[in-house]
Amino acid sequence: MKKCYIVGVIAAIVMVASLCGCGGGTKDMNRKIKDIEFTVIGEDKLPEELKMIIDEKKEKEFKITYQDNDFLYICVGYGKQDTGGYSIVVKDLYLTGNSVYVDTNLIGPEAENRELYQAQESESASYPYIVIKTEYFDKSVVFD
């Protein structure tokens, strides 16, 4: 009877230790390995198919990726805005053990230009988006 109890305790310890080991590995897989070099490209440099996809989605917020040859295009759109004057900044783009992580931020018109844009509001809605071009990674992209 005592042998069964000892074997059961040892089995439980081994299972708990193996579960703890898996949890640590997951954290390591999400840790930043390196920053990724990238280029922000304009509409004139986009592949035609990607232009059409963006045009279809631009009315609403979107987050998509597109692969062409050896390049990965990461696209983030902020949907229809009532005025122009917006810009988008890439806050972070890096590689982890299991994914590419990207974080962008929409910046509104500057205070001194806000009145000008609001005066033009009825005639000029905008659809701000950014396209980030980088080397292709065979990993999922995580948008923040």
DSSP conformation letters of 50-119 = HHHHHHHHTTSEEEEEEEETTEEEEEEEE--BSSS--EEEEEEEEE-SSEEEEEEEEE---HHHHHHHHH
pTM for the predicted model, two decimal places = 0.75
CA separation, residue 84 to residues 8, 28, 63, 77, 117 (Å): 68, 42, 21, 14, 6
Mean pLDDT of all residues in the chain?
A: 83
* In the predicted structure, residue 88 carries a pLDDT above the cut 70: yes
At 4, the pLDDT band (50, 70, 90 cuts) reads very low
* In the predicted structure, residue 143 carries a pLDDT above the cut 60: yes
